Homo-oligomer: A and B are copies of this chain.
Amino acid sequence: MNSQTTPAEIPAETPTATPGQSPAEVTTNTPNPHKPLGIVPLATVPLRDIRIDDPWFNRYIRLVNEVILPYQWAALNDAVPDAEPSHAVHNMRIAAGLEKGDYRGPVFQDSDAMKWLEAVGYSLAVTPNPELEAQADSLIELIAQAQQPDGYFNSYFTVVAPQARWKNLTDAHELYVAGHLIEAAIAYHEGTGKRRLLDVAIRFADLIDRVFGPAPGQLRGYPGHQEIELALVKLWRTTGERRYLNLARFFIDERGREPNYFDAEKAAPDWYELYPGTRRSPTVTSTLQAHLPVREQHTAVGHAVRATYMYAAMADIAAADGDTELLAAAKRLWQDIAERQMYITGGIGQSGHLECFTTAWDLPNDANYSETCASIGLALFSRRLGNIERDSRYHDVVERALFNGIVSGLQLDGRRFFYVNPMSVWPANCLPHTMRRHVKPERQPWFGCACCPPNIARTLAGLGEYLYGVDHDTGRIYIHQLIGNRATIRLKTHSVELGLRAALCEHGRVTLHAASPEPIALAIRIPGWADSCTLASPRQNGYLLLDLAAGRHQLDFEFPLPPELVLPHPEVRALQGRYAVMRGPLVYCLEEVDNGPGLEALRVDDAAFLGNFACETTTPDRSPACLTVDDPVLGRYTRIRLPGWRAEAAPDTPLYRPLRSSTETAAERYRPTDTWWVPYALWCHRDPGEMLVWIRE
């Protein structure tokens, strides 16, 4: 967005955009019932002020702009030959009265268009693209036409079941779609200054605010799939209207109270049965995080995407209102995820059934779900807590997800996607009717239920939001992510120009340029994987604090980046006796194409690893090595070679055999071999085959 296009009647960015003023201090429609937190969350830097230039993310962002957004535009318009049709635009055209026909696709199909528009908004904030903007404008026009006179928008209900609005919050995703509409509208407004979609969103939000609430005649319901809560917080920030924040809080506080709303609506005679048989089967309220009031929830349960979207909103609302109880609940849930239920890639949602969390320490490798969208949700949630707490560990989790579990979902041609991101794949056993039926050994084209591709697109297009946090009170600029970029940080009285050169996918050397007419206060996150830093500087909550004089500076420092063997906590049953290989933020994996089939038969030599690591060199012997290569398929990346062994057995070896003598001990059964490792995010770009993250000790 160019600032001169901002309409005067809308606050320039959010109430917080006025430097030094936090949301909690903004004059709101109703008084704040809570005490302030004592700290003000760090502010996010607008996307328009950041240009990312990082070897790991450049190509992903280029993919978003050059391939994914055009491809998804085609997909939304059912113009991708080899993919299941989306029907999204088709459905909206019927809802708008422009076409006759039947609604097709999942009930929440509108949301794909919204996520696409959100991504377009972020993209246009940085990279003007008239053709893309014209496409988006045409879609927005269609959405506006499909909006009903009272402000309601939902193609499914408008076309299929207008009488059944709000009759099945459990399954029907109306509020979920509304949330994505609001987020898209704000992004597009910020990216282009255009408020056509924002007006649509506001009209719909106003309708929702009339329909839902504690007053007589209002519904005391809340969404089956959370998302609108965090969108309403954004809408409050964009418009300054406190009632949107109140509505978000209503949805959060109402959730899980007894009598349970989902049970009650299902028992009502006008329940709208979207899926046959659902009336008879009781709703598993924990899947929807509605089993308890959210403040009483201690462990992350249920559908991981719904959970993290809700937790993110809890953090937002807690920050907005200084609600320490809600913040404590959010932090507790984050801790349960990040310390006990998170894969090393930032994947979450262990169960392949309903894409759910299970329990602490349960991290099965080969049947997990770890949906790409859930990692996105975890990043959204973690960033918010990190900006409240000013603690690097939250951004460590963001980094883990961004470099691994999120981009792993995306093929390097931008046309195929993983929904499920397992730690181990054995293609021959990704079979229907098994516990691995959801695991795909190769990325798939745009799915019928295509939540992940547009979610990846909006995340990468909005990546800049993850980079900085600004303390407008003190003027300190927090560098959360060591992702190369140039940025203008607008403080109360002046701006700071920053340039960060980093390439964590290759090495740990960082160059920071900073220029300002005033003294510069910086906080640079020390990544959780970093054992040391060449920059000597005071530390606070995982940040290096730097105070520089006014003027221009160049700082060169390094976080040494050797490959690491990573150990799991002893409580993690599935990972005992195994190592993962990481280098900096990148999780590595073994692939069949490099190591042959039977990856589970490999072991790594940890003594050699610790004793003799020769980084950045090729060595003639079997010592470990890092090799940065330019690969025709994978591009420039660093591969790792580690010495190890492979279990071997004679051709007639039976299924089970006794260990009969000491000649059959490990030394006899294993032959030395090299193991070759590539970044997890890059797996499955060459010959498809087995993949493994955790190798045996």
**Shortest CB distance A347–B (Å):** 12
Question: Range of interface residues on chain A?
Answer: 35 or more
- In the assembly, what is the distance between CA of A570 and CA of B531, in Å? 37
Inter-chain CA distance A570–B364, complex, in Å, is: 21
Decide yes or no whether A568 CB sits under 8 A from chain B. Answer: yes
Scoring A277, A284, A344, A351 by chain B CB atoms within 10 A of each residue's CB, the highest score goes to A351
Closest to A575 in B: B600
Asked if B351 and A607 make an inter-chain contact with CB atoms under 8 angstroms apart, the answer reads: no
A659 touches B565 (CB 8 A): yes
Q: In the complex, which of the residues B434, B580, B598, B666 contacts A656, with contact meaning CB atoms closer than 8 Å? A: B580
Those of A561-614 within 8 Å (CB) of chain B: 564-574, 576-577, 579-580, 582, 598-601, 603, 606-607, 609-611
Interchain CB contact (< 8 A) of A567 among B567, B610, B657: B657
- Is A287's CB within 8 Å of the partner chain B? yes
Determine the chain B residues whose CB is within 8 A of the CB of A665 once the complex forms: 606-607, 610
> Is A81 an interface residue, CB under 8 A from the partner?
no
In the complex with contacts A353-B434, A662-B610, A344-B574 CB distance below 8 A: no
A631-686 CB contacts (< 8 Å) to partner B: 647-649, 653-662, 664-666, 669
The answer to whether B428 and A359 have CB atoms under 8 Å apart is: yes
Q: List the B residue with the shortest CB-CB distance to A353.
A: B433
Query: In the complex, which residues of chain B have a beta carbon less than 8 angstroms from the beta carbon of A659?
Result: 564-567, 579, 606, 609-610
Q: Which residue of B lies closest to A528 (CB)?
A: B654
Known A569-B655, A610-B662, A656-B344; judge A358-B600 contact (CB<8 A): no
Tell me the residues in window 414-447 of chain A with beta carbons closer than 8 Å to chain B beta carbons.
426, 428-429, 431-435, 437
The answer for the CA separation of A342 and B654 in the assembled complex, in Å, is: 11
Closest chain B CB from A574 CB (angstroms): 7
**Neighbouring B residues of A566 by C-beta, 8 Å:** 656-659
Distance, CA A367 to CA B367, complexed state (A):
10
**Chain A 325-379 residues near chain B, CB threshold 8 A:** 338-340, 342, 344, 350-354, 356, 358-359, 362, 364, 366-367
> Measured between alpha carbons, how far is A356 from B434 in the docked complex, in Å?
8
CA distance A529 to B669 in the complex (A): 20
**Complexed CA–CA distance, A148 and B565 (Å):** 71
A276 on interface, CB distance cutoff 8 Å: yes
Query: Known contacts being A576-B600, A601-B576, A658-B566, is A431 close to B610, with CB within 8 Å?
Result: no
Contact of A656 with B568 in the complex, beta carbons under 8 Å: yes
A564 to B657, CA, bound (A): 9
Q: In whole angstroms, what is the CA distance A567 to B660 when docked?
A: 10
Inter-chain contact A598/B570, CB cutoff 8 Å: yes
Inter-chain CA distance A340–B568, complex, in Å, is: 31
Q: How many copies does the complex hold?
A: 2
A697 within 8 A of B: yes
Q: Does A696 sit at the interface, judged by CB under 8 A?
A: yes
Contacts A570-B647, A649-B570, A656-B569; is A577 near B580 (CB within 8 Å)? no
Shortest beta-carbon distance from A626 to chain B in Å: 15
Contact A666–B697 (Cβ < 8 Å): yes
Please indicate the chain B residues that have their CB under 8 angstroms from the CB of A431 in the complex. 351, 358-359
Docked CA distance A656–B579 (Å) = 10
How close is A452's CB to chain B, nearest CB, in angstroms? 21
In the bound complex, do residue B568 and residue A655 qualify as a contact, i.e. CB atoms below 8 Å apart? yes
- Cβ–Cβ < 8 Å partners of A609 in chain B: 659
On whether the beta carbons of B569 and A649 are closer than 8 Å, the reply is yes
Residues of B within 8 A of A601 (CB): 570-571, 576
Q: Report which of B351, B429, B571 forms a contact with A358, defined as CB distance below 8 A.
A: B429
How distant is A597 from chain B, measured CB to nearest CB, in Å? 9
Whether the pair A653, B570 counts as a contact (CB closer than 8 A) is yes
Interface hits, A269-288 → B, CB 8 Å = 276-277, 284, 287
Q: What residues on B are CB-neighbors of A367 within 8 Å?
A: 364, 367, 435
Contacts of A568 in B (CB 8 A): 655-656
Q: Is the CB of B661 within 8 A of A610?
A: yes
Name the CB-closest residue of B to A429.
B362
Q: Is the CB of A570 within 8 A of B434?
A: no
Contacts of A611 in B (CB 8 A): 662
Chain A 140-160 interface mask (CB, 8 Å, partner B; 1/0): 000000000000000000000
A572, B655: Cβ atoms under 8 Å? yes
- Looking at the assembled complex, report how far the CB atom of A135 sits from the nearest CB atom of chain B, in whole angstroms: 38
Q: A109 to chain B: closest CB distance in Å?
A: 22
* A362, A437, A566, A658, most chain B CB atoms within 10 A: A658
Within the complex, what minimum Cβ distance (angstroms) separates A655 from chain B? 5
Determine the distance from Cα of A353 to Cα of B697 in the docked complex, in whole angstroms: 32
A542 to chain B, nearest CB (A): 13
CB-CB under 8 A from A655, the residues of chain B are: 338-340, 342, 568-569, 572
Contact pattern, A 263-303, Cβ under 8 Å of B = 1, otherwise 0 = 00000000000001100000010010000000000000000
Q: Are A353 and B661 neighbours in the complex by a CB distance under 8 Å?
A: no
A429 to chain B: which residues have CB within 8 Å?
358-359, 362
Q: A570-B648, A601-B576 are in contact. Are A287 and B433 (CB under 8 A)?
A: yes
Q: Are B662 and A569 in contact (CB under 8 A)?
A: no
Contact pattern, A 532-570, Cβ under 8 Å of B = 1, otherwise 0 = 000000000000000000000000000000001111111
Complex: chain B residue closest to A438, CB-CB? B435
Shortest beta-carbon distance from A274 to chain B in Å: 15
Which chain B residue shows the least CB distance to A362?
B429
CA distance A21 to B609 in the complex (A): 69
A–B Cβ pairs within 8 angstroms, 8 of them:
A352-B435, A358-B429, A359-B429, A364-B367, A569-B649, A569-B657, A570-B601, A577-B577
Listed from nearest, the 5 A-B pairs whose CB atoms lie closest are A435-B435, A564-B658, A573-B600, A565-B659, A576-B600
| Apart from A350-B434, A576-B696: 10 A-B pairs, beta carbons within 8 A | A276-B277, A353-B433, A353-B434, A359-B431, A362-B428, A566-B656, A566-B657, A570-B598, A576-B647, A606-B659
